[in-house]
Homo-oligomer: A and B are copies of this chain.
Amino acid sequence: MLLAEDDIHLGELIVHLLKKKGVEHVDWVQEGEDAYDYALASFYDVIILDWMLPNGDGVSVCQRLRKNGYHGAILMLTAKDAVQDRVEGLEAGADDYLVKPFEIDELMARLKALSRRTFAPIQEEIVRWGAFEVNRTSHTLMKNGQQIILTPREFQLLDLLLQNRGRVLTRDIILDRIWGYDADVSMKTIDATVKLLRKKIGDEQQQLIKTVRGVGYTIEK
């Protein structure tokens, strides 16, 4: 899930509550352009988009996202309650909106309703990578037509690396994204998971997942 909200306090609160409610993965950006870039770079089921953002307002971000093929749900946050504004938001491609100030229960209820609705028309997402084919909907990995069964952690790690191909992910970031910022595990756990993943995909030579000494891990472009 992606949250685009420039108010630091509200942003922190929402992220905190979402995690508490069991939302696996929340990214938070504070500017319109960032929201746009993140949304098209990664894959989000739902985007919570503030109406007013510095550097690219919510409505135009929403419009451009729809134009460029983003098919997940979009929930707009707005301080305006005029009918015309609501209509404008929905016309821009938002699926729902919530007027500030709102209660967190209502946000949760709306998110739930949205993802219930979003669930069906979600696009197949298949990432091809050399001899591999990663299917994010079926949670499967194929190598030359042969299925490789990954554990959840292994799949998360591969997915994360693949989403960031060409970029080196530091251990800090990996820990943050997979185990969560408040996880209580040692860095060694990452190395161990990398090891397991490498073994499963037959990468003992570290040709596929590269170690960048002193920095982290990467899958090259």
Contact = CB atoms under 8 A, between A and B. Distances in A.
Interface in A131-172: 137-139, 151-152, 166-168
Contact count band on A: 35 or more
B83 A103 contact: yes
Contacts of A168: 137-139
Given A87-B105, A138-B166, A176 B116 contact: yes
Interface in A25-50: none
A94 B94 CA distance: 17
Nearest to A166: B138
Given A91-B109, A103-B83, A119-B121, A167 B138 contact: yes
Nearest to A168: B139
Nearest to A122: B167
Interface stretch (A1-9, A51-59, A183-191, A207-215): A207-215
